[in-house]
Structure 1
Amino acid sequence: MNKKTIIVLTLLLSLVSFNFSSTFFITAEPAAVYAQSGGGGGGGRGQGVEADSDAASVAVETVESFRGDFTDEITVTAKAEAKKEVKITSDIRDFITSVNYQLGDEVEKNDLLIELDTSDSELDILEAEAALKSAEADLEEALNGPLKAEIAQQEARVKEAESELKLQQENYQRQKELYADEYISKQELEQAANKLTAAESSYISAEKSLELLKAGARKEQIKKLESQKLRAELNLKRAVKNQNDRKIKTPISGIVSYLNAQAGDKITADTTAIITDISQIELTAYISELYINDLEKGETIKAYFNSIDQEFEGEIIGISPRTAEARNTFPVKMQIDNPEKVIKAGMNAAVSLITARANDVVIISQDALLEENGENYIYIIKDSTAKRRSVKVFLENEDHAVISSGLEEGEKAAAVGKENLRDGIKVTTAAGGEQ
């Protein structure tokens, strides 16, 4: 064999070897390529396709069904408002002597916020106290009865009146005789009669006073004195209240969110201060009629505040049975705790509200679901084999579905690669797949 012939044979052998290698690549690789294509992202509900029965097993990722509590949610916007806020005004128009807190200061209930001039009110209290003491003394005297000295003095007055009466009686008798003998005029007799009448009246009055003094005060008099004492007590309370009203205190604990007062100014009828308690925040959201009947009072909510990048849990505290004025939506009140006071009144929140719920149900990822002719199905993976199974979806959200029939807890279903499966096809499972 010459050199030229050897070169030709070598080239032929090389060509044959190349064709054999190419044929092996084309026939061996398609199954692997087919298994990886179309299975990339779960989530979309596609339709399974018929695979070549002679192809190699299809690679898939699986998810496992589990039993748990399911919720579906909507997200709405709401504005934060203080749960408690009190406006402070004063009925007294007088000068401010001191302001003890400033805007933004934290205060406790009954802290002294503003003081008004008390010079006039102090005098009013002193006068009311004096009037009360006098009324109490008068009532005590009436209740305890007269002193012995007072009775003795009145008895002496009675004796004096009696002596005077006897004297005038004797005088009148003499004047009467003299008049009969025409020694005196009729006018002189009348003067004697008048003196006798006056002496009789004085005696009767003294006797009556002595009788009353010994008997003590009458019920009517005691009632009158008790009424005077009560009026004196009320006047003192009124004076003390007026004094206390000049010391303006905080009605709740919170933060001074508004203040319109300066020492030396005269207080007006306008709002003087506002105390805001933001330890609890109230949110109001307006909900469509499509979801209002899905909400429940007491249900847990989540509120995310973008301005402070924090999420808080709270609860629904009130659901209105009627739409708000000028709106076609229903007001829903929610409450969250704000112990660090980082949420301020007026901040906006994105609130998640539960609109559907189911407890102790079988749940699977949406990545496993397929749909055909309006019906849902999945591929159960067991013993490296895909088994098509129809399922009924009871509730669902973006991530999960509640299966009411066709699936048991703990079963594994194809997710990534599910569109490439058919009933009975062999599969290889890869790591991955979440619940």
Structure 2
Amino acid sequence: MKIVKSLYTKKKYIAGLLLILAITVSCRKKKEQEAEEVLRPVKVQVLSRSDMSLGYTAGAEIKGKEEIPYVAVVNGELTVLNAKNGDEVNAGQVILGIDNQSARSNLQSAAASYNTARIQYEKYSQLYQKRLITETEYLNAKTNYQSASANLALANDSNNKSVIKADINGVISGLDLERHQQISAGQLLFKIVNESEMEIKVGVSPNIVNKIKVGTAAKIKIDELDREVSGEVHEISGTADTKTRQFIVKIRIPNPERKIKSGMYGTASIDTGVEKGIVIPKESIVVRGVEQIVYVIQSGVAKAVPVKILNQNEKFAAVEGEGLIIGSEIITDGQNVVQDGEKIKKIN
């Protein structure tokens, strides 16, 4: 009986040990699984120093080198309409005519007053030469004539503003008018676009602008045409925009075939020469607030390092930053979700 009881006790003890061992193994596996779960899978790239030809890249809307808006300065009925959108016009050509009754009435009245004053002045001038009238009468007639002449010039100028002529050779754009509709002073009527050359204005950061000169070559990829064309830097602003802190660079694009139209979107790449330094994929750069950062791997942990972009193109950027060391690794895939100090797991 004692032997049976002893065997029972031993079996119970062994079962307890096995249960504890199983629980211990299970907890260990669970901890290992949890440890694996907190590791962020990322792809990395080893930093190296290289020389690379880079171009500064920025996008903007393309416009004609000259775009003149025409605004009505008088009220009235649109009685003359000699063009439509897309028409090529020449400088001096009449595009619109507005019947401004008030201006027309003033012109008629001014013309009648001028003729009366002119006739009286000519008559008094002859009488004064013969000493048949006083000097005061002559001078009054002369003053009235000069005043009437000035009023007629003003009336003519006001009436002429009812006729809209092209100031340059170009193409009509934004014209949405119909004959006999009422026009209001201040109303935008249309634009004339000089399409012989087009222009794109892009913002350039202060650390890049000194690498660009007037005459610097540029390539412009035009989305709507699915093609790339050549251009040249035409003008560089001397001061930065107060809001963006960027310098405006104007690039002229030859357009002999008139295929490039105002309003198309272009991505300009300006040649800035060879950049010496650390060149990384642009996609590895993450914006955090007002900073641009990359994540460097230190002892298996992601470390955020602020960087300054020295130059860039569509795919790569030359950068500098404290903590960027040749031979270290930066995250190139997963960088948008990883957090500073987070443990990571490198994957292929």
Residue matched to 1:246 = 162
Which of the numbers 53, 58, 65 marks the counterpart of 1:77?
A: 58
The aligned length equals 222
Residue matched to 2:303 = none
Residue matched to 2:338 = none
- Per-residue deviation, 1:73: 4.0
Contact 1:98 1:262 in 2 (8 A): no
Give unmatched runs, 5+ long, in structure 1: 1-44, 46-70, 147-212, 358-435
- Relative distance call for 1:108 and 1:222 in structure 2 (3 A) is same
Deviations 1:328-349 (CA, angstroms, capped at 9, x unpaired): 5432221122122211223233
TM-score of the aligned structures, taking structure 1 as reference length? 0.45
TM-score of the aligned structures, taking structure 2 as reference length? 0.55
Deviations 1:369-401 (CA, angstroms, capped at 9, x unpaired): xxxxxxxxxxxxxxxxxxxxxxxxxxxxxxxxx
Residue matched to 1:340 = 257
Give unmatched runs, 5+ long, in structure 2: 1-47, 275-348
- Relative distance call for 1:320 and 1:245 in structure 2 (3 A) is closer
- Per-residue deviation, 1:247: 1.8
Deviations 1:187-240 (CA, angstroms, capped at 9, x unpaired): xxxxxxxxxxxxxxxxxxxxxxxxxx9733333332221111112212322332
Residue matched to 2:132 = 216
**SS state of the match for residue 291, structure 1?**
helix
Task: Determine which structure has greater relative contact order: mean sequence separation of CA pairs < 8 Å that are 6+ residues apart, divided by chain length.
Answer: 1
Contact 2:78 2:179 in 1 (8 A): yes
Deviations 1:127-154 (CA, angstroms, capped at 9, x unpaired): 43333232222222222227xxxxxxxx
- Relative distance call for 1:77 and 1:129 in structure 2 (3 A) is same
Deviations 1:10-33 (CA, angstroms, capped at 9, x unpaired): xxxxxxxxxxxxxxxxxxxxxxxx
Partner Cα distance (1:341, 1:299) in 2: 23
Structure 1, 224-233 or 272-281: larger mean CA deviation: 272-281
- Relative distance call for 1:142 and 1:266 in structure 2 (3 A) is same
RMSD, aligned α-carbons:
2.9
**Which aligned pairs between 1:64-103 and structure 2 lie closer than 5 A?**
72-79=53-60, 80-103=62-85
Amino acid across the alignment from 1:77: A
**Which aligned pairs between 1:108-187 and structure 2 lie closer than 5 A?**
108-117=90-99, 124-145=106-127
Amino acid across the alignment from 1:298: G
**SS state of the match for residue 76, structure 2?**
coil
Deviations 1:106-147 (CA, angstroms, capped at 9, x unpaired): 22222222222266655544443333232222222222227x
Deviations 1:43-97 (CA, angstroms, capped at 9, x unpaired): xx9xxxxxxxxxxxxxxxxxxxxxxxxx944141332122211222222211122
Higher alpha-carbon Rg: 1
- Per-residue deviation, 1:248: 2.0
Partner Cα distance (1:290, 1:223) in 2: 70
Residue matched to 1:158 = none
Contact 2:63 2:200 in 1 (8 A): yes
Amino acid across the alignment from 1:324: D
Partner Cα distance (1:104, 1:214) in 2: 65
Contact 2:77 2:100 in 1 (8 A): no
Contact 2:232 2:252 in 1 (8 A): yes
Which of the numbers 255, 277, 281 marks the counterpart of 2:194?
A: 277
Deviations 1:139-193 (CA, angstroms, capped at 9, x unpaired): 22222227xxxxxxxxxxxxxxxxxxxxxxxxxxxxxxxxxxxxxxxxxxxxxxx
